[in-house]
Amino acid sequence: MTVTTIDFQWPAGFYNDGIEIGLGTVDKKDFGYLFSEVPATAAGTYTTNQFQAAPTKLTKNTINHNHHLQAVVVNSAIANSCTGVQGEQDAQTEQQLLGEKLGISPDLVGVASTGLIGAPLPMDKIKAGIAQLQPATDDGVTQAVLTTDTHAKKACVQVELDGQTVTIAGFCKGSGMIHPKMATMLGFVTTDAAIDGELLQHTLSTGVDTTFNQITVDGDTSTNDMVVVMANGLAKNAELTSTTDADYAAFAEALHVVLGELAKQIAADGEGATKLVECNVSGAFNDQEGQQVAKAIVGSNLVKAAIFGQDPNWGRIISTIGATDAHVDIDHVSITLNGILMVQDSLAVPFDLDTAVDAMKENQVTIDVTLNSGNATGQAWGCDLTYNYVKINASYHT
């Protein structure tokens, strides 16, 4: 089956809204919702930070109850994290109020927040905001979740399942505190495919491992964040119930395309970033070690700073490889940077410095590494480390 990338559109039966209710100090949308006209099977992955925020815990428990959701209410600017019993009550109030507004059970409502840790939600504004929300087919909610992001991050594909055209559309936010361990940002994926909830959970968890969990901006894992998928079945394909179903592989591939595209957009929009950094590892002992080495390279502050400075210092890459516990043939490692071979058999290869510097001026820098320890691969994405990253995070609270 062919997966086709298309301009962003909501799958059948999904609506949204994004509005400004004054949660932050800037003039922007900061509150919204996403809902399906019918209950949808749902799956989620969640931050592994020990200080998991109230909305994240609530949504996790809600989805785990029976793998169904019909709506999610979201806000930016305030994380509702480390806010104690009051924060938990506030998240439950959001769930209750949106359920009442839509005429559905609160158990079908997820809650997501992002922003400043430690601040309580101004519930008067939240309650007024829920009352203002209207069903729309634009993409306002994709703006309402942004914090230090420079733009909305969206992806959409279509694939044929059981003779029916299925749409999968996702959006996310994320720019700083990006070092996922089961997703560290807010990501929402909607589809009109019919799929069993447990199978959807398996597919999401598998897809996240090689997409969102393979990006890093600054090595910090947030308290709030998650990826949620809702599948409402309105495409009318025969329900997928097993990984052995004829159309399952096509669905899994299409979902993976959306997750991967969103992950790369987050990495490219890292706080202060000027370049997307992609690392492709081959010759790894196993896939886990391939992913480990790739993520270590894109996460190295020395590598990130060199890429910002357009300095082809491959020594920073090879030292990062050696600092991992992955199997490495230390006499036969090769490193290529934007198509320029710099290391072969673990020794320097002559290259033109000016050509290499020019190559690193591109918006994307690709590092290809061969470990010569097996046949497995790994891939990860990150960004450069800039002066502006420090500036943004030195004044995030004040």
Per-residue pLDDT of the chain (398 residues; tens, 9 = 90+): 699 999 999 999 999 999 999 998 778 999 999 999 999 999 999 988 888 999 999 999 999 999 999 999 999 999 999 999 999 999 999 999 999 999 999 999 999 999 888 999 999 999 999 999 999 999 999 999 988 788 899 999 999 999 999 999 999 987 555 455 533 478 999 999 999 999 999 999 999 988 988 887 655 566 777 899 999 999 999 999 999 999 999 999 999 999 999 988 888 777 778 899 999 999 999 999 999 999 999 999 999 999 999 999 999 999 999 999 999 999 999 999 999 999 999 999 999 999 999 999 999 999 999 999 999 999 999 888 887 877 777 765 55
54 within 8 A of 87, measured Cβ to Cβ: yes
CA 111/CA 103 separation, integer angstroms: 17
211 annotated among ligand-binding-site residues: no
Report the predicted TM-score, pTM, of the whole model to 2 decimal places: 0.85
The β-bridge partners of 169 are 156, 190
Question: What CATH number belongs to 276-394?
Answer: 3.10.20.340
393 annotated among ligand-binding-site residues: yes
Question: What is the sign of the dihedral through the CA atoms of 244, 248, 250 and 253?
Answer: negative
Can you spell out the DSSP letters for 119-160? Answer: PPP-HHHHHHHHHH---BSS-HHHHHT-SS-SS-EEEEEEEE
398 annotated among ligand-binding-site residues: yes
Residue 336 host element (H or E): strand 334-337
CA 131/CA 94 separation, integer angstroms: 11
45 annotated among ligand-binding-site residues: no
Residue numbers annotated as active site:
184
Using DSSP's 3-state secondary structure scheme, residue 188 falls into: strand
The CB-based long-range contact list for 167-170 (8 Å cut-off, 24+ gap) reads 167/6, 167/9, 167/10, 167/11, 167/12, 167/191, 167/192, 167/235, 168/11, 168/193, 168/254, 168/255, 168/258, 169/8, 169/9, 169/10, 169/11, 169/14, 169/258, 170/258, 170/259, 170/262
Structure tokens that stand for 168 in this block:
């999968």
370 annotated among ligand-binding-site residues: no
CA nearest 42: which of 245, 193, 256, 213?
193
The β-bridge partners of 336 are 341, 368
Ordered by start, the domain boundaries in the chain are: 4-268, 276-394
95 within 8 A of 127, measured Cβ to Cβ: no
Question: What CATH number belongs to 4-268?
Answer: 3.60.70.12
Question: What is the sign of the dihedral through the CA atoms of 51, 145, 270 and 252?
Answer: positive
173 annotated among ligand-binding-site residues: yes
Neighbours of 100 (CB within 10 A): 12
